[in-house]
Amino acid sequence: MTASADAASGARLSPVARAKAILGGSAGNLVEWYDWFAYAAFTLYFAPAFFPKGDQTVQLLQAAAVFFLGFVARPVGAWLMGMYADHAGRRAALSASVALMCGGALIIAVTPGFNAIGLWAPAILLFARVLQGLSVGGEYGASATYMSEMAGKNRRGFWSSFHYVTLIAGQLIALGVLIVLQRTLGEAELKAWGWRIPFIIGAILAVVVFWIRRGLEESIAFKRSAQRESLSRGQVASAAVFLALTVIAGVLGVTTGPLAKPGQYLGALFLLAFFVSLIVPLVRRHPRESLLIMGLTAGGSLTFYVYTTYMQKFLVNTAGFSKGQASEISALSMIGFMLAQPLAGWLSDRLGRKPMLILAFGGGALTIWPIMTGISHATSVSSALALILAGMAFQSCYTSISAVVKAEMFPAEIRALGVALPYALANVLFGGTAEMVALAFKHEEMESAFYLYVAAVMTVGLVCSVLLKDTMRNSLIHED
């Protein structure tokens, strides 16, 4: 038997072993995203606790800014954990990422409010959110890579779709906790202390998953990869310098003196330089793959956050639904969205990845304006829900295969980094800013212009889908 044939034979997993690996890897993904989305789900209640009293939209903007800064940390986590996953193994990176998430959730749960410790409250909240950003940034690449490598060639689209099933399930659990607390506690109690409960739950679940992940089987693709990625001292040095300059400029930017404005502009410039220093080595080695992933992620992540985390606020602030109704609409729509993932993943195994992506971005760009306009004028829960599900149907054609498409583009020795870093950078620029951009348009009474912005970014994803080779037929995952 040849070496390649022997490798192929040894690489095959039994159905039970494959399902165990997929479920084991996805359990941590669920907890990671529960903790991440708990922040967004409970923003309406904890924003007054951490930020000075004022207009509700202004408080939401401040909380959204912290949400965005958590996104800023994600490329750092993607870079560090991606390199770690490609060097030490997928299992080690998965365990490290869930440990960071546990720490971030616990800190948020126990931090006193603004009235008790003043500006320390939002500062500690920011620190905790950065920890969670590092965690999620590392989680995506490691879990997407692990699940795609363990899925098997013939049903890789189907099995890897559970990456988004558990991502959505994490958000659903966060919404479920929100609905239960809304039904059992009064609004005053939720704002006073009830919002801390979901973060305590998240920290406890993270401990359980850390133990589960320590027992996972390492992927065959990593075991058989002959090469290992190593950090370049030059890249580390340049990234450290730009990060330090960003922090210094950011500190100046929050002062009230004459250096505030220059500090803000320099902070943005140094942050951009920092991101460039992270991505340039990868782009040099894999330019087409890196840029295509960034384009797909820009459209996919922006639309995902519009229909999920921002939608709850949109239903309250624009459509006029109560907070309880908005939570229930969001929960029902997410259940439908979650159930659609395996079906869309299964279709990609038969039709190919490329046709699904073209449908996702083409259909999404054409329908975002009428869907958002219709929701803003909806007068019943059922009509708003139907419109959201229509948009999510197109979105499912991307989300179900987003992990596997990225993983199939890269060789094993750089796969986790290649999946994680371009995704995280595009997420910062488009997913992380979705709420801030939407609320800023609303604050200026130009909310409908936001729909055009989303359509334009989705069009970029459509162009990338057309240029992309069908990764199902050109996959670089050879171990099955």
| DSSP letter string, 347-406 | HHHHH-HHHHHHHHHHHHHHHHHHHHHHHHT--SHHHHHHHHHHHHHHHHHHHTTHHHHH
Candidates 378, 6, 36; CA nearest to 174 is 36
> Is the model's pLDDT at 363 over the cut of 70?
yes
Q: Which of the pair, 457 or 122, is modelled with greater confidence?
A: 457
Judge whether 304 and 338 are in contact, CB under 8 Å: no
Q: Which amino acid is at 60?
A: L
Mean pLDDT of 65-90: 82
Mean pLDDT of 203-220: 83
Mean pLDDT of 391-411: 94
Locate 76 and state its tokens: 């750092």
pLDDT of residue 218: 80
First to last CA, the chain: 17
> Is the model's pLDDT at 211 over the cut of 70?
yes
pLDDT digits (tens, 9 = 90+) for 124-171: 888 888 888 888 888 888 888 888 888 878 888 998 899 889 988 988
- Count of residues in the chain: 480
> Is the model's pLDDT at 232 over the cut of 90?
no
> Is the model's pLDDT at 95 over the cut of 80?
yes
In this predicted structure, which of 64-68, 247-251, 365-369, 371-375 has the lowest mean pLDDT? 64-68
Average pLDDT value over all residues in the chain: 85
Phi and psi for 12 in degrees, rounded to 5? -70, 135
pLDDT band at 479 (very low <50, low <70, confident <90, very high): low
> Is the model's pLDDT at 349 over the cut of 80?
yes
Global pTM reads 0.83
E-strand stretches of 233-359: none
In this predicted structure, which of 78-92, 242-256, 257-271 has the lowest mean pLDDT? 242-256
Phi and psi for 409 in degrees, rounded to 5? -85, -20
In this predicted structure, which of 191-205, 253-267, 268-282, 318-332 has the lowest mean pLDDT? 253-267
Distance of CA 222 to the CA centre of its chain: 24
pLDDT of residue 256: 64
Q: Which amino acid is at 284?
A: R
pLDDT band at 7 (very low <50, low <70, confident <90, very high): very low
pLDDT band at 388 (very low <50, low <70, confident <90, very high): very high
Mean pLDDT of 434-446: 86
- Tell me how crowded residue 320 is: count the other CB atoms within 10 A of its CB: 13
Alpha-carbon distance of 227 to 52, in angstroms, equals 52
> Is the model's pLDDT at 403 over the cut of 50?
yes
Q: Which residue has the tokens 């162009």?
A: 463
Mean pLDDT of 75-86: 88
